[in-house]
Amino acid sequence: MAFRNKSVVDKGFTNIKSKVRTLDLMVSRGGSSVEDFRKHLKNLYETVEQLEDVVEREASPLRNG
């Protein structure tokens, strides 16, 4: 499947990687509150959902004609 907005998908994956790295650092260094961790985790889930929407739109038969 060829994406018309490949840069949007690439940026989404880059954001996800960055957010996972942030969560990893929060856990490994300690000192972060549970609330902060959950806030970052929720933000990560939202990013994944946005990327899913982009992929679904690109894969839609109506989009491709």
- For 2-54, write each residue's pLDDT tens digit: 677 788 889 999 999 999 999 999 999 988 999 999 999 999 999 999 999 98
Q: Whole-angstrom Cα distance, residue 9 to residue 52?
A: 9
Q: Which of 25, 17, 26 is nearest to 44 (CA)?
A: 17
β strands within 1-65, DSSP E: none
How confident is the model at residue 59, as a pLDDT? 79
- Residue from 46, 58, 47 nearest 5 by CA: 58
Q: What are the domain boundaries of the chain?
A: 6-60
